[in-house]
A and B are shown apart, each in its own frame.
Chain A
Amino acid sequence: MAGCTPQTAPVGAGTKIKVAIDPVTRIEGHLKVEVEVKNGVVSDARVFGGMYRGFEQILVGRDPRDASQITQRICGVCPTAHATASVLALDDAFKVKLTDNGRITRNLIFGANYLQSHILHFYHLAALDYVNGPDTAPFIPRYAKNDVRVPKDINDVAVGQYLEALEMRKICHEMVALFGGKMPHVPGLVVGGASEIPTQEKLVAYAERFKKVKKFVMEKYVPLVYLLAGPYGDLLKTGGGYKNCVSWGVFPMDDKGNTLQKRGVFTDGKDYPVDTALIKEYVKYSFFDDATTGLNPREGKTVPNPNKAGAYSFIKAPRYNGKPHEAGPLARMWVTNPELSKIGQEKLGVKKMREIGDAAFSILGRHVARAEETVMVANAVEQWLSEVKPGKDTYVPVPVPDSAEGLGLTEAPRGALLHYVNIKDKKIANYQVTSATIWNANPMDDMGQKGPMEKALIGVPVPDAANPVNVGRLIRSFDP
């Protein structure tokens, strides 16, 4: 429990205890969480983003085509997502129409990293909240009482799968690299399509690897997630948050804008089509210049002020139609509402995602949504493999426009991702990124509304303040 002197006094009714975890580990980046615990549950929460690099400032003045290479370096877990958002923004600005093979090859690259990212997240980032690793570094030290409830035999199975999953995620990266060039950070996603034309030989190599990964997903990953619902069933009842969802949609299935995961917004119990003009980013509690608050990414400005009084995070607070929204697999599955996998239908006794109801908005519900989405993406990969044409061109060369604007909307494995580019004199004049974790891990906005992760923390049980296990579980359920 970081930044917190051990609380030895008994927790009486109404006593407030402050608990801070810094660093929150097994995530991408630097995050701190501070909660106030009252009567054994979280009564208040703040999430702090502790790092700023300034990509938006670094991009100004560069050749627009460089953006897809540079922005990938925002995140080494989901570089393909930033590359995708960036090339979509550039495609839009350059007014280029992809070939079918270009679109499908991009999906094969990005889809393989979806599989990688979800497997990595569940096993290597989240699972150690539910099972014990081997008794050696880096799996120790752990919390003295870490609330691991699975029996030894299941724990052993899970640890075995943890190691097997390391191999599986490596294989997924090989799939990315076959057409993406290398991974992390793919050279192969470029404005105008994909730079490498799939050959028959390489498609076979991709398909062989995919078969192993799909088998692992269906026979190990998905069943293990549902298995945890037994001993950890209470975690289906906590961590709901606002229950508002944004999904920009991902994986174009044709050239008409239809996507595998649909584009849509779910606010206060109702569905809406996406209107990007309704996105505004607030900075009252973020380390950015107050004059830049409330802007749409199209006119967005990123001016850091690390000494701003009252601010507590380097993350801006984006709001859709003035309200905080959660992003990620749960948001996408909720917006799209697909049929669940066979095993999901059997275990949950329902057919479609929304029939899960409120339990979907929970710590474990987010893991269920992520696992179900992995099945959905795996099925789509099979479809793309049947559609891709070996030897047919994947790339359309286009000149850099003198001046243009472009918007790229996609979904990183961890949530809604927007890139905006403004080109003047063939150079980047403005570039704005509203990334997935910014939707989830943001601080309070100017109106005093907490960020989605902060809100979801409130009500989470922390019976033992010296071992705040559920706080980490909630944070990681979002895959920040």
Chain B
Amino acid sequence: MKDEQTLPDVQQTKTGVSRRTFLKAATGTAAGIGISQMFNPALVSALEKALKTHPVLWIQGQGCTGCSVSLLNSVDPSIADILLKVISLQFHPTVMASEGEIALENLYAVAEEYKGKFSLVVEGAIPLAADGKYCIVGEMNHKEITMLDMTKELGAKAGSVIAVGTCATYGGIPAAKGNVTGATGVMDVFKQFGIKTPVVNIPGCPSHPDWIVGSLVYLLTKGLPELDDSGRPLLFFGENIHDNCPHLKEYDAGTLSEKLSDPKGCRIDLGCKGPSTFADCYKRKWNSGLNWCVDNAVCIGCVEPGFPDASSPFYEPA
């Protein structure tokens, strides 16, 4: 299954889908600030090449599946196209048909065959306390596999790792004050166990689908994107929310919202953490661009390494 006959090729002979046709359609008609637009025109050939050699394995630890569900909300390309035509998603606990040992055998077989090439996506934190027993992700040969075991083994073999969501990047809510599980993000686990595979952090509670798809495609086609001090692509996390907020003018004019349902005004007195938060939500917005936290209520700083402790209480000014 090397070179001529790659894994996605073999699998796609039966579906009769032409990737080239799809990719042309997907990248040619992007509207707004769709992901595909950013990578035009080199995307088509690059993605085709990447698809053949870079399967994606998606594993889940201490999380809520919210980042996976958020990925399903991808608009451009749609999730159906992502699943069938853009990436070769060989393992995803919430989506894949298989279960049990069949699923795990495939996971480890793909990781071995595409060693140094596949992309590992990690969703959820990795608990280190109690030898990792706070998160059991499967069992092979009558032996339990902890999230820690799986992250270490696959992390060392992967070509690159994408930590998706604030749990996988910085520990997030499972790592908040009061936790006893030793919940830890991928980067810190790698540091602790000497794993050198590059990690791209895509925080957010949940991550925005564009951030996930965009980073994945960037990684597959161009390599590592430029990252900030917290390992986040500047492409998505380079701008301060408050400084770019549509309510900034109101802030400058001293128009401040007094209660959550005020349609007008800057939310700073209500506890908005926009001033300490870096992400492009203010222009990208959520769910097909329909709304975002600040217009609806307040920003709680969910993309920041200190979330949630650094930004709580959420409804009191910092």
Contact = CB atoms under 8 A, between A and B. Distances in A.
Contact of B291 (A23, A62, A177): A177
Given A1-B101, A177-B290, A138 B90 contact: yes
B260 A76 contact: no
A327 interface: no
A182 B292 contact: yes
B6 interface: no
B179 A54 contact: yes
Contacts of B292: 181-182
Interface in B280-318: 286-288, 290-293, 295-298, 300, 302, 308, 312-316
Interface string B87-128: 011111111111111111010000000000000000001010
Interface string B260-283: 110100000000000000000000
A26 interface: yes
A73 B291 contact: no
A58 B173 contact: yes
Nearest to B96: A138
A197 B14 CA distance: 50
A358 B100 CA distance: 31
Contacts of B180: 54, 57, 304
B291 A181 contact: yes
A142 B314 CA distance: 45
Interface in A378-409: 393-395, 397
B296 A180 contact: yes
A183 B94 contact: no
Given A26-B94, A76-B206, A32 B287 contact: no
Contacts of B172: 73
Contact of A195 (B96, B102, B261): B261
B183 to A, nearest CB: 7
Q: Interface on chain A toward B: helix, strand, loop, or mixed SS?
A: loop
Interface residues of B, number: 94
Contact of B99 (A21, A134, A177, A184): A21
Contacts of B68: 76
B33 interface: no
A28 B124 CA distance: 12
B314 A63 contact: yes
Interface string A40-58: 0000000010111111011
A197 B264 CA distance: 11
Interface in B124-174: 125, 127, 130, 133-144, 172-174
Given A53-B174, A128-B97, A63 B15 contact: no
B104 A174 contact: no
Contacts of A136: 8, 11-12, 14-15, 84, 88
Kindly name the residue among B134, B172, B300 whose own CB sees the greatest number of chain A CB atoms within 10 A.
B134
Contacts of B66: 73, 75-77, 79, 184-185
A260 interface: no
A166 B209 CA distance: 14
Interface in B175-226: 176-181, 183, 205-206
A109 to B, nearest CB: 10
A190 B97 contact: no
A65 B315 contact: yes
Interface string A137-163: 111111100000000000000000001
A25 interface: yes
A333 B84 CA distance: 36
A181 B297 CA distance: 7
A173 B295 CA distance: 17
B100 A23 contact: yes
A134 B80 CA distance: 12
Contacts of B259: 395, 397
**Which of A53, A170, A185, A190 counts the most B-chain CB atoms under 10 A from its CB?**
A53
A193 interface: yes
Given A57-B180, A73-B205, A124-B95, A134 B100 contact: no
A196 interface: yes
A112 to B, nearest CB: 11
Contacts of A32: 136, 138-139
Given A57-B178, A133-B97, A173-B73, A397 B84 contact: no
B97 A73 contact: no
Contact of B14 (A2, A26, A75, A134): A134
Interface string A193-219: 111110000000100000000000000
Contacts of B67: 76
B70 to A, nearest CB: 6
Contacts of A4: 101
B125 to A, nearest CB: 8
B75 to A, nearest CB: 8
- Which of B88, B94, B141: most chain A Cβ within 10 A? B94
Given A3-B139, A181-B293, A66 B312 contact: yes
A58 B177 contact: yes
Contacts of B308: 66, 69-70
Given A136-B84, A195-B297, A141 B178 contact: no
B89 A138 contact: yes
A103 B14 CA distance: 50
Given A23-B93, A195-B296, A137 B206 contact: no
A3 B140 CA distance: 5
A184 B139 contact: no
A13 B67 CA distance: 47
A415 interface: no
Contacts of B142: 3
A62 B314 CA distance: 10
A196 B205 CA distance: 20
B27 interface: no
A230 to B, nearest CB: 22
A60 interface: yes
Interface in B6-22: 7-8, 11-12, 14-15
B88 A137 contact: yes
Nearest to B99: A25
Contacts of B79: 166, 170
30 contacts: A1-B102, A2-B101, A3-B101, A23-B93, A28-B64, A29-B65, A32-B136, A51-B136, A53-B183, A55-B173, A66-B313, A73-B173, A77-B66, A128-B97, A136-B84, A137-B90, A138-B97, A166-B80, A173-B287, A177-B291, A181-B297, A182-B296, A184-B66, A188-B296, A190-B297, A196-B261, A196-B295, A196-B297, A307-B130, A395-B259
Interface of B: 7-8, 11-12, 14-15, 55, 60-70, 72-73, 75, 78-80, 83-84, 88-104, 106, 125, 127, 130, 133-144, 172-174, 176-181, 183, 205-206, 259-261, 263, 286-288, 290-293, 295-298, 300, 302, 308, 312-316
Interface of A: 1-4, 20-30, 32, 48, 50-55, 57-63, 65-66, 69-70, 73-77, 79, 120, 124-125, 128, 133-143, 163, 166-167, 169-170, 173-174, 176-188, 190, 192-197, 205, 304, 306-307, 314, 393-395, 397, 472
